[in-house]
Amino acid sequence: MDKHNLVHIADDYARSLTGVAPDHSMGLGWATYKLHGKVFMLIGEVDGKSTVIVKADPIRAAILRGQFEEISPAHRMNKRHWLSIVAGKPITEALLHREIKESYLLVQASLPQKRIRNAGQPARIGVSRRQLQPLARRLATDLPGVSHGRPFVEKLDVYKVVNKVFLIVTDDPGEPIITVKAEPGQIDTLCEQYENVTPGRYLDKHHWVSVEGGKGVTHELVEELIKQSYQLALKAVPGRLKPQGKAAL
């Protein structure tokens, strides 16, 4: 992809996303793309090169910088959370679309969400940020055939049934989340209903969600999500390898 295509494709795709309002609030020569007033993309020039700047999860950002020479820590922004992308042969339209959408979703997830509550619903036990991960670990280890380890990076505690991942616990005081599998049709509803449920942080956002404690997250919700994730992972396990136990049926 050359620099003209980079700018044209990024601009067209960002404008196609719901609720996007471009402006030049970051200064002359910088096109700024916002969702409800929050920046998710910039287009400008750095050292004479057309550059697209997008938000990214820090772990994802580190992986991308290692994979592509054309992707580097962002100019002007927090270098841990933002990436600069310049034109080059490895930078495809699909990759550019993906990273722009990822940035858009990260900003979208940080916006206040309207919570849906059912009238007359009985009180449920809330789960705080501090309580979430110990609860998730306990629920996961109570299920048959579960093991865990750190095969990706040290801060990700990965839980598997046989050899299929169903839970990731992020050991980071600044980001005390869990990530679980979900049915694709549930993800938008979960994210709309629960302020602290967002599309999956590390994996396919059409099949995973990330959860942080507080703001409407209950013991019942966490238990339901973990058990469902376990069952979804089990579907990919051959019958002869499936663990025995009521939860595995």
166, 157 contact by CB (below 8 A): no
State the pLDDT confidence band at 109, using cuts at 50, 70 and 90.
confident
Which two three-digit tokens encode residue 40? 């998710």
Give the separation between CA 216 and CA 128, rounded to whole angstroms: 9
- β-bridge mates for residue 244, sequence order: none
Query: DSSP secondary structure string, 166-198?
Result: EEEEE--TT--EEEEE--HHHHHHHHHH-TTEE
Tell me: pLDDT of 3 over 60: yes
Architecture of domain 129-248: Alpha-Beta Complex (3.90)
Instruction: Quote helix, strand, coil % in the chain, to nearest 5.
Output: 35, 25, 40
Give the separation between CA 1 and CA 92, rounded to whole angstroms: 6
State the pLDDT confidence band at 140, using cuts at 50, 70 and 90.
very high
Q: Which of the two residues, 92 and 80, has the higher pLDDT score? A: 92
Give the separation between CA 75 and CA 91, rounded to whole angstroms: 18
Give the separation between CA 167 and CA 160, rounded to whole angstroms: 7
Phi, psi of 188, deg, nearest 5: -60, -40
Give the separation between CA 245 and CA 249, rounded to whole angstroms: 7
Q: Which CATH number does the domain 3-110 belong to among 3.90.1150.30, 3.40.50.10540, 3.40.190.10, 3.40.640.10?
A: 3.90.1150.30
Q: What is the mean pLDDT of residues 79-97?
A: 92
State the pLDDT confidence band at 120, using cuts at 50, 70 and 90.
very low
Q: What is the mean pLDDT of residues 27-33?
A: 89
pLDDT of residue 100: 95
178, 168 contact by CB (below 8 A): yes
pLDDT of residue 245: 62
Average pLDDT over the chain, rounded to an integer? 86
pLDDT of residue 159: 97
Angle (CA) 115-120-125 rounded to 5° is: 65
What are the extents of the domains in the chain?
A: 3-110, 129-248
Give the separation between CA 99 and CA 74, rounded to whole angstroms: 13
Tell me: pLDDT of 106 over 70: yes
pLDDT of residue 213: 92
First to last CA, the chain: 50
Tell me: pLDDT of 121 over 50: no
Q: Which of the two residues, 190 and 69, has the higher pLDDT score? A: 69
Q: What is the pLDDT of residues 235-244, one digit of tens each?
A: 988 888 888 7
- β-bridge mates for residue 52, sequence order: 43, 85
Tell me: pLDDT of 25 over 70: yes
pTM of the model: 0.51
Tell me: pLDDT of 246 over 80: no
Q: What is the pLDDT of residues 150-192, one digit of tens each?
A: 988 899 999 999 999 999 999 998 889 999 999 887 888 888 7
Tell me: pLDDT of 19 over 70: yes
In three-state secondary structure terms, 12 is helix
Give the separation between CA 216 and CA 51, rounded to whole angstroms: 39
Give the separation between CA 10 and CA 37, rounded to whole angstroms: 19
State the pLDDT confidence band at 122, using cuts at 50, 70 and 90.
very low
